[in-house]
């Protein structure tokens, strides 16, 4: 595996490659990330991964400095997966001058759910993703469904900018008890880790109720959040949305059986976890 930090060197190595498959990450890799590498290989060759902790998507009170950085361990895992190139730019490599040009997602998608609780987050994500795409020039790029809203925003961005990159969504990888794998799980204490699967249980409660014909969306959302709060969680949202555009479903949408997804974000101790479940 080649480890490259320079954009120019990366482009030289990938010159003439027409089937590059790309997986962007922020490192601290776990089985969820590695499953993305395997899916990427099914859709292209060579496989390129990136590790870059993107300052632009962190708010002023978020954990940029504390975000876990495990580079050597990450390298070993990627080598075992047969990744061809690891693009690991420094901030000076990727942002040699202040990144004053930014991508701004539309307000109805970028400022709801995660965007409401993390202002500017998706602008930071789309800006770095567009820049990474410019560096790698992939035919396909793989993103996990755990970050459901992010996947939709990146997919819409690629379509509207007519990027020559197909966006592939990968299913969420879970621990045996249902907890979605996440780099932030390492922040959980032993007791919190035992409690953490309740978030997925809350999503399953909502999905089960809706499949049984209980369509009072507000009541279901409120009840699921109360269940979490009763066990020491501080929920930001549990929200039932249309899969097509992540807008709240109308009575007509519910009556017609429009495909839905329930999304959640909640804090357990000092750790903020997100998850979702398609209905």
The set of catalytic residues is: 33
Rounded to the nearest 10 degrees, how much is the dihedral formed by the CA atoms of 179, 180, 186, 187?
A: -80
Rounded to the nearest 10 degrees, how much is the dihedral formed by the CA atoms of 46, 47, 53, 58?
A: 110
Please, which residues have CB within 8 angstroms of residue 243's CB and are 6 or more apart in sequence?
258, 259, 260, 261, 278
> Other CB atoms closer than 10 Å to residue 17's CB: what's the count?
18
Per-residue buried b or exposed e for 70-84, using 16+ beta carbons within 10 Å of the residue's own CB: beeebbebbeebebb
Measured N-to-C along each axis, helices 217-229 and 198-211 cross at an angle, to the nearest 10 degrees, of 160
């Amino acid at each position: 595996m080649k480890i490259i930090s320079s954009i120019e060197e990366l482009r030289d190595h990938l010159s003439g490659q027409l089937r590059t498959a790309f997986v962007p990450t922020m490192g601290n890799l776990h089985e969820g990330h590695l499953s993305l590498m395997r899916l990427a290989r099914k859709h292209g060759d060579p496989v390129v991964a990136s590790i870059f902790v993107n300052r632009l998507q962190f708010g002023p009170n978020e954990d940029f400095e504390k975000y876990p950085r495990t580079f050597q361990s990450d390298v070993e895992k990627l080598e075992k997966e047969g990744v061809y190139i690891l693009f690991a730019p420094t901030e000076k490599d990727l942002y040699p001058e202040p990144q004053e040009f930014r991508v701004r997602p539309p307000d109805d998608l970028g400022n709801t759910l995660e965007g409401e609780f993390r202002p500017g987050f998706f602008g930071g994500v789309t800006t770095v993703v567009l820049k990474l795409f410019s560096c790698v020039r992939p035919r396909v790029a793989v993103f996990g469904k755990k970050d459901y809203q992010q996947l939709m925003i990146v997919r819409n961005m690629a379509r509207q900018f007519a990027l020559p990159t197909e966006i592939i969504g990968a299913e969420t990888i879970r621990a045996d008890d249902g907890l979605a794998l996440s780099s932030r799980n390492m922040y959980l204490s032993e007791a919190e880790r035992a409690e953490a699967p309740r978030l997925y249980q809350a999503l399953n409660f909502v999905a089960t109720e809706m499949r049984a014909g209980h369509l009072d969306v507000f009541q279901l959302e409120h009840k699921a959040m109360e269940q979490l709060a009763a066990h020491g969680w501080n929920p930001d949202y549990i929200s039932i949305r249309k899969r097509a555009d992540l807008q709240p479903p109308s009575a007509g949408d519910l009556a017609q059986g429009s495909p839905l997804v329930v999304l959640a974000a909640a804090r357990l101790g000092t750790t903020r976890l997100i998850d979702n479940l398609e209905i």
